[in-house]
Amino acid sequence: MNKLFTIYLLTVLSLVSVCVHAQQDAQYTQYMYNTISVNPAYAGSRGVMSIMGLHRSQWVGLDGAPRTQTLTLNTPLGKENRMGLGLSIVNDEIGPTDETYFNIDFSYTIPTSERGKLSFGLKAGGHLLNVDFDKLSQFETGDVVFESGNIDNKFSPNVGAGIYYHTDKLYLGLSTPNLLETNHFDEEAFSDADGSSAFIAEERINYYLIAGYVFDLSDDVKFKPAVLSKLVFGAPLQVDISANFLLYKRLRLGAAYRWSAAFSGLVGFQISDSLMMGFAYDRETTELGNTQFNDGSYEVFLRFELFRKYNRMLTPRFF
């Protein structure tokens, strides 16, 4: 079994089999620094304009393995920072598919106590799908799926919502970035002779729960455990558990575990008040991780934040 067949069997089989019922959103290891991608209520919560770019290469060494690029911007609005605005573009490639998401996020925050804030968020945008069937090997000639031609820039609308509560130590959020269950393919074009659907991919609703807490172990050491749980019907429950340390307000070291999937190492460095970079490496715990063609997954991000003169950062926000 060559590596080309391996990756198509593992990651594209759901696309070209008899029926595809669910698709999941892009996956991130450093989700704690990329919250805006999954929860629109996070927009503006840092109190400054925050711009972040992230790249993820998954299962490096396997042909057609997932690759994700993300660019986000979010900022507070108004004198009291009650409103927030966010923009995001995500490009997700896997096998013969190339998907691009573009969204606008809006949030409104209500103070619940001296330190606590509760934010409500809405997300609106669209999604473009490309599928190049020429990248797939046909096992049977004359397959109706391949004869129907490639899919080019098929547009689907997107609407999402979320809530987010945080203090200076705690955060908790619940969201669904896409509330529309969209069929990505023409059901009539991909049907059997008896009229039953033979090929259909449906965008299912993804539910996210995120939480974290910051413990001050000393003046120079902070510890933050965090969790992200993602539920999509038709796919296994995903739970990511992480533990990160902030050392001397500059260096961040951590580890993470994706339930029944992978272990991860994380490192980040606060280069300046405005600039931070981070890196993560995943190693699969499944049989896929034991293949000679899988060198693990890599993720790198760079974040730039624009501060006003009167709110220079005294200590880095850990979320």
Q: Exposed, middle or buried: residue 124 (CB in 10 Å: 0-12, 13-18, 19+)?
A: middle
Instruction: With beta carbons less than 8 A apart as the criterion, state whether 20 and 97 touch.
Output: no
Residue 4: predicted pLDDT: 41
Residue 140 predicted with pLDDT over 70: no
Whether the pLDDT of residue 289 is over 80: the answer is no
For the cut 90, the answer to whether the pLDDT of residue 185 exceeds it is no
Give the mean pLDDT of 25-38. 88
Query: What pLDDT is stored for residue 52 in this prediction?
Result: 96
* 15 pLDDT higher than 60: no
| DSSP H or E segment with residue 241 | strand 238-247
Spatial distance between the Cα atoms of 244 and 225, rounded to a whole number of angstroms: 6
Percent of the chain scoring above 90 in pLDDT: 54
Residues 161, 122 contacting (CB under 8 angstroms)? yes
pLDDT given at position 152: 85
pLDDT band with cut points at 50, 70 and 90 for residue 297 = very high
Look at residue 260 in the predicted model and tell me its pLDDT.
86
Q: Which residue has the higher pLDDT, 232 or 159?
A: 159
pLDDT at 17 over 80: no
pLDDT for res 21: 38
Instruction: Please tell me the predicted confidence (pLDDT) of residue 13.
Output: 34
* Residues 151, 125 contacting (CB under 8 angstroms): no
Rounded CA-CA distance 73/46 in Å is 12
CA distance 237 to 229: 7
Q: Quick one: pLDDT at residue 7?
A: 38
Is residue 98's pLDDT more than 70? yes
- Model confidence pLDDT, tens digit, residues 71-93: 999 999 988 889 999 999 999 99
Q: Label residue 9 exposed, middle or buried (CB < 10 Å: 0-12, 13-18, 19+).
A: exposed
Q: Average pLDDT in the 160-172 region?
A: 95
Split at pLDDT 50, 70, 90, the class of 150 is: confident
Q: How far apart are the C-alpha atoms of 55 and 67, rounded to whole Å?
A: 8
Selected residue with higher pLDDT from 148 and 97: 97
pTM: 0.82
The predicted pLDDT at position 6 comes to: 37
